[in-house]
Amino acid sequence: MKENRLRTVLQNLEQMGLSQALITDPLSILYLTGRLIKPLERFYALYVSQSGHHKIFINQLETVPEDLGVEKVRFTDSDPYLDLVYQAVDHSQPLGVDKNMAARFLLPLMDRQCAPGYVNASLAVDKARSVKDAQEQALMRKASQINDEAVKAFRTLVREGITERQVAEQTKGIYLDLGAEDFSFEPLIAFGASAASGHHYPDGTQLKPGDCVLFDVGCVYEGYCSDMTRTYFYREVSPKQEAVYDLVLQANQAAEAAIRPGVPLRDLDRIARDIISQGGYGPNFTHRLGHFIGLETHDFGDVSSAAEDVAVPGNIFSIEPGIYLPGEMGVRIEDLALVTEDGVEILNHLPKALEVLP
């Protein structure tokens, strides 16, 4: 078990008035144990308790290290595994459960009156995961470094008449050659008017001179995700395109410059949104400014007008303002920002100045 991380989770549970929790999210279990298991339809859970009687429930099908730092409870497909969970839980205290715990597991536990009450305790782990330790920060830096190099390579694929899909089909191999494990999400590659959709998946749209070329891409390195967006123009750029790009770049840079410990996350969104609104495109900035990232591309937490948290050292989130003009184009510029003790470290180093691809 990762003792420092477990300690933080238990402290968070205590603040929620909980003495025990059943964690079923495989990535949260990875965060606490260092071991990733993908159970498919089978039951897999980590039970943690303020008493220290932690247990991990793992099907015999899975091969795991001899010592996981926690007592292993093994079972087969035909064993009454929920009986084993029932035996471990303190029936006199409420039980914290995952927000994504499958009903096929939770409802039988409720029917058995495993606990007097059930509480969504995901925040106990989510809050811990939102503050990256030194090891996680190093992995996130490396994932973003690979992403920078990948986008440099992606740009060389651009030529007149190529389709978004044809470019996308070549990206996986580039990532693997650079040392990544996989995509962190399917690449979003959009030409021209396609980029006016915030989440446009590559299709048969062909590239032509004057189009914007948007790459919203990311990879996984040793379990940690990267995410970056760069927007270019192919062969030529109009004055309107240039003006829109400059506005988005100003919003990106202003928000990043304001990041420091203690700044309300909603203020970062406001800074970027005000710049775009003052430029006349407020209604065309159609999403939040950013999201947290780590073991998942979208970890818990966001940078939006509704965000209630302030930035703390170790947070890593995206800053990605955008302007989307239906039938014309879309421009988005995205970096990942790590909150440091006295400011911010931007994890992406690929230039952001307007660029016209030949």
CA distance 81 to 194: 49
Number of helices (H), then strands (E), in the chain: 9, 20
CA distance 120 to 84: 21
Reported as half-sphere exposure (CB side, CA atoms, 13 A), residue 182 has a value of 9
Q: pLDDT (tens digit, 9 = 90+) per residue, 281-339?
A: 999 999 999 999 999 999 999 999 999 999 999 999 999 999 999 999 999 999 999 99
Cα angle 43, 48, 49; round to 5: 140
The single-letter code of the amino acid at 113 is: Q
Beta-strand ranges (E) seen in the chain are 20-23, 45-49, 55-59, 71-75, 95-97, 118-120, 182-183, 188-191, 212-217, 219-221, 224-225, 228-234, 290-291, 302-303, 316-319, 322-325, 329-332, 335-339, 344-346, 356-357
CA distance 263 to 309: 9
| Closest of 200, 191, 303 to residue 256, by C-alpha | 303
59-68, 186-195, 202-211, 260-269: least confidently modelled range: 59-68
CA distance 118 to 107: 11
Band (pLDDT 50/70/90 cuts) for residue 68 is confident
Per-residue pLDDT at 65: 76
Q: pLDDT (tens digit, 9 = 90+) per residue, 129-143?
A: 999 999 999 999 999
Has residue 64 got a pLDDT over 90? no
Has residue 159 got a pLDDT over 80? yes
How many angstroms separate the Cα of 172 from the Cα of each of 48, 270, 302?
38, 36, 28
Has residue 17 got a pLDDT over 90? yes
Average pLDDT taken over every residue of the chain: 97
Has residue 9 got a pLDDT over 90? yes
What radius of gyration do the chain's Cα atoms show? 23
Has residue 66 got a pLDDT over 90? no
Query: What are the residues facing 357 on neighbouring strands?
Result: 234
Q: pLDDT (tens digit, 9 = 90+) per residue, 242-265?
A: 999 999 999 999 999 999 999 999
Provide the terminal-to-terminal Cα distance of the chain, rounded to the nearest Å: 52
Q: Is the dihedral of CA 142, 143, 147, 150 positive or negative?
A: positive
Percent of the chain at pLDDT exceeding 90:
97
Has residue 67 got a pLDDT over 90? no
CA distance 69 to 84: 19
Q: Mean pLDDT throughout 154-160? A: 97
CB atoms within 10 A of CB 293: 28
Distance, CA of 244 to chain centre: 27
